[in-house]
């Protein structure tokens, strides 16, 4: 390794004070609320922050709004996993001496659309020329396009995706902040309103308002902060295609595989070491691609792995699965503002601090894996609560 990732830790982490419907706060207000909460969590003031990173708005807007005069700014914006990339870049930046204390924020008025931009593509962009003329209406009709091919390759049916939603709802039931907590069955999932066949509404994420923020510093300094440090063991990132129709292979995400491999390699861990896993789930197929492309199971095995409750919480006297997945309820049941990656990271940090609503007992290593755009990008972070 050319640089020491292990010397960086998360010392501040928080979500917005409220989640769900927040019609009285604009996008930048959500960023600021999360940032102030994370600073309070870390015992810091804006003047203590010397690096900023964000997506959705510019790091210039963020820094000036909070009165931060940084020596480092990262505006990487590749969709919902941008925050995983921000963590990765922040770790490198801290190690290189570009900044000491880096704030990463997310805020999105996904539901209320207060101070939010539109979902537009220029008709001269590649997507504008070669996808938009055929009628896609946002992510539910684009992210989902490769799935029928994946299902046919592995001899699966649409209902094989339903347990992703039902089991994540079980996790959500344990989380007081989750948007949806009532139990659902496979029949409920399959009989819900059809959005874009074969995807029903319960296979699609929520649309809510909210935000989150993280503060990273060197592991040396981390010991002096009020919260238990959460160390960054390994990181990965990749980008693939701006057009879902041009994925290299509809059966897997090339970006997932590159990002995940790099994260596991730099962390020096194997799959058996992972106690807790977050896989960005904007739609029910993403945990299937994620489990396979990260290498937890072989191609085509993820649906059965989830159905057999390997990722489920304890239930009816039965112990929980060996690989607790999306323990906040995920984008399907917890919240999804548009760029969900920040909430996956927040849940990983909570699990490593031992403060999650559905805490995995004794968890020492958590992996947070994100997707950006419609299979456009990926970022993976390996966290631990033990100093490397």
Kindly state whether residue 156 participates in binding another protein, applying the rule CB under 8 A: no
Around Cβ 186, how many Cβ atoms within 10 Å? 16
Smallest distance, another protein to C-beta of residue 134, A? 5
**Gap between the Cα atoms of 111 and 206, Å rounded:** 9
Tell the smallest beta-carbon distance from residue 247 to another protein (Å): 8
Alpha-carbon gap, residue 119 to 350, rounded angstroms: 32
Residue 245 as a binder of another protein (CB under 8 A): the answer is yes
Site string for another protein, 192-231 (x = CB under 8 A): -xxxxxxx--------------------------------
CA distances 315 to 182, 302, 318, 320, 328, Å, are: 14, 20, 5, 7, 16
Pick from 13, 91, 142, 376 the residue near another protein by CB under 8 A: 142
Task: Compute the distance between CA of residue 209 and CA of residue 200 in angstroms, rounded to an integer.
Answer: 22
Select 268 or 300, whichever has its Cβ closest to another protein. Answer: 300
- Using CB under 8 A as the binding rule, whether residue 90 contacts another protein is answered as no
| Closer residue to another protein in complex, CB, 89/285 | 285
The CB density around residue 210, as the number of other CB atoms within 10 Å, is 32
**56-60 contacts, C-beta under 8 A, 24 or more apart:** 56/27, 56/31, 56/82, 56/106, 56/107, 56/108, 56/338, 56/339, 57/27, 57/28, 57/31, 57/107
Number of neighbours of residue 258 by Cβ within 10 angstroms? 18
Size of the site for another protein (CB under 8 A): 34
Comparing CB distances to another protein, the nearer of 136 and 236 is 136
Task: Give the residue, chosen from 22, 25, 145, 303, that forms a contact with another protein under the rule CB under 8 A.
Answer: 145
Q: Does 157 bind another protein (CB under 8 A)?
A: no
Interface with another protein in residues 96-135 (CB under 8 A): 122-124, 126, 128-135
Distance CA 280, CA 270 (A): 20
Q: Give the separation between CA 288 and CA 301, rounded to whole angstroms.
A: 8
Round to whole Å and give the CA distance between 86 and 99: 13
Between 12 and 198, CB nearer to another protein? 198
Which residues have a Cβ under 8 Å from the Cβ of 387 and sit 6 or more positions away?
219, 229, 231
Q: Which CB sits closer to another protein, 67 or 123?
A: 123
**β-bridge partners, 10:** 216, 230
Query: Alpha-carbon torsion 107, 325, 182, 185, what sign?
Result: positive
Name residues contacting another protein, limited to 322-381 (CB under 8 A).
Answer: none
Q: What is the sign of the dihedral through the CA atoms of 352, 353, 354 and 355?
A: negative
Q: Pick from 144, 179, 326, 333: which binds another protein (CB under 8 A)?
A: 144
Shortest distance (Å) from residue 125 CB to another protein: 9
Q: Which of 17, 95, 141, 254 binds another protein (CB under 8 A)?
A: 141
Q: Judged by CB, which is closer to another protein: 262, or 285?
A: 285
Which residue's CB is nearer to another protein, number 131 or number 281? 131
Strand order in the sheet with 8-15: 72-74, 51-54, 102-109, 209-218, 8-15, 230-239, 377-384, 365-372, 276-279
Closer Cβ to another protein, 64 or 157, answer by number: 157
Tell me the pairing of strands 102-109 and 209-218. Answer: antiparallel
**Out of 221, 250, 295, 353, the residue judged to bind another protein by CB under 8 A:** 250
Q: Which is nearer to another protein, 243 or 371 (CB)?
A: 243
CB-based contact 284:161 (threshold 8 Å)? yes
> Closest distance between another protein and the C-beta of residue 217, in Å?
41
The nearer residue to another protein, 201 or 223, going by C-beta atoms, is 201
**Can you give the binding site for another protein, defined by CB under 8 A?**
122-124, 126, 128-137, 141-142, 144-149, 152, 193-199, 243, 245-246, 250
């Amino acid at each position: 390794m050319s640089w020491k990732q292990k010397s960086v830790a998360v010392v501040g982490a928080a979500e917005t004070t409220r989640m769900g419907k927040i019609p009285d706060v604009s996008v930048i207000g959500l960023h600021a609320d999360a940032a102030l909460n994370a600073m309070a969590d870390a015992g810091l003031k804006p003047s203590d922050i010397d690096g900023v990173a964000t997506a959705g708005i510019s790091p210039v807007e963020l820094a000036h709004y909070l009165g931060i005069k940084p020596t480092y700014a990262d505006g990487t914006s590749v969709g919902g996993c941008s925050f995983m990339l921000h963590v990765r870049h922040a770790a490198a930046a801290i190690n290189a001496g570009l900044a000491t204390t880096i704030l990463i924020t997310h805020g999105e008025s996904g539901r209320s659309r207060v101070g939010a931009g539109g979902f537009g593509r220029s008709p001269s962009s590649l997507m504008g020329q070669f996808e938009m003329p055929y009628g896609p209406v946002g992510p539910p009709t684009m992210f989902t396009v490769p799935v029928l091919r994946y299902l046919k390759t592995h001899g699966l049916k649409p209902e094989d995706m339903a347990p992703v939603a039902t089991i994540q709802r079980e996790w959500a039931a344990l989380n007081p902040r989750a948007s949806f907590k009532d139990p659902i069955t496979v029949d409920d999932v399959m009989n819900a309103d059809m959005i874009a066949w074969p995807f029903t509404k319960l296979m699609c994420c929520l649309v809510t308002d909210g935000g989150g923020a993280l503060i990273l510093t060197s592991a040396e300094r981390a010991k002096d902060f009020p919260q238990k440090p959460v160390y960054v063991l390994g990181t990965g990132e990749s980008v693939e295609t701006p057009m879902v129709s041009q994925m290299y292979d509809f059966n897997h995400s090339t970006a997932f595989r590159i990002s995940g491999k790099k994260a596991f390699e730099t962390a020096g861990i194997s799959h058996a070491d992972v106690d807790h896993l977050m896989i960005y789930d904007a739609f029910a197929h993403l945990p299937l691609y994620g489990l396979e492309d990260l290498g937890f199971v072989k191609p085509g095995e993820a649906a059965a792995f989830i159905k057999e409750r390997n990722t489920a919480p304890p239930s009816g006297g039965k112990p929980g699965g060996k690989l607790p997945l999306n323990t906040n309820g995920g984008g399907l049941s917890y919240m999804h503002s548009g760029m969900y990656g920040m909430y996956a990271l927040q849940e990983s940090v909570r699990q490593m601090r031992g403060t999650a609503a559905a805490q995995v007992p004794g968890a020492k290593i958590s992996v947070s894996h994100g997707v950006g755009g419609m299979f456009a990008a990926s970022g993976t972070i390996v966290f631990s609560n033990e100093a490397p």
